[in-house]
Structure 1
């Protein structure tokens, strides 16, 4: 089993069926041949990724998974992450 397989297995185990993302080149191996039973939602900015994941988490009352590109992507999402924290949105980033 690869790390990629283990990651998807863990997502399924915890009921995380939707991935909100603004991926960069470092995420390509993870996203290639993305599993059909998981939903991938692309946003064009990291702040939008967090906003979408926050809305999903608050609406479903379940954690949401946000996949951001390395350092710069996380930096772009800081404001939205602060808002998600204030709103007590359960996110996995």
Structure 2
């Protein structure tokens, strides 16, 4: 009998399909389920703060020409990251 797919397994399979196996972030308690038993074929790049996670992901995307995945911690983390997110958008669209 095969195991039922979970949201977690479907998410990781989708990320593999999209070639998004490098994750940048500054995790908090809400990210623990996503990071628990982190797949061996993925790389997690730990940042000191959310804004630096965005900056590292932006650099990764510019160097590789591929999109980057950033995992941020809840609303406060997004607030810390939004300035660099806007800067990354403008750097690639102007």
* Shorter-chain TM-score range: over 0.9
Structure 2 residues without counterparts, runs of 5 or longer: none
Give the aligned CA root-mean-square deviation in angstroms. 1.0
| CA distance in 2: counterparts of 1:68 and 1:86, whole angstroms | 20
1:46-85 alignment runs, 5 A limit: 46-85=50-89
C-alpha displacement at 1:24, in angstroms?
A: 0.9
* SS in structure 2 at match of 1:63: coil
| CA distance in 2: counterparts of 1:38 and 1:22, whole angstroms | 16
Per-residue CA deviations over 1:21-57 (Å, capped at 9, x if unaligned) read 1111011011011000000110010000000000000
Structure 1 residues without counterparts, runs of 5 or longer: none
Query: Is 1:20 aligned with 2:39?
Result: no
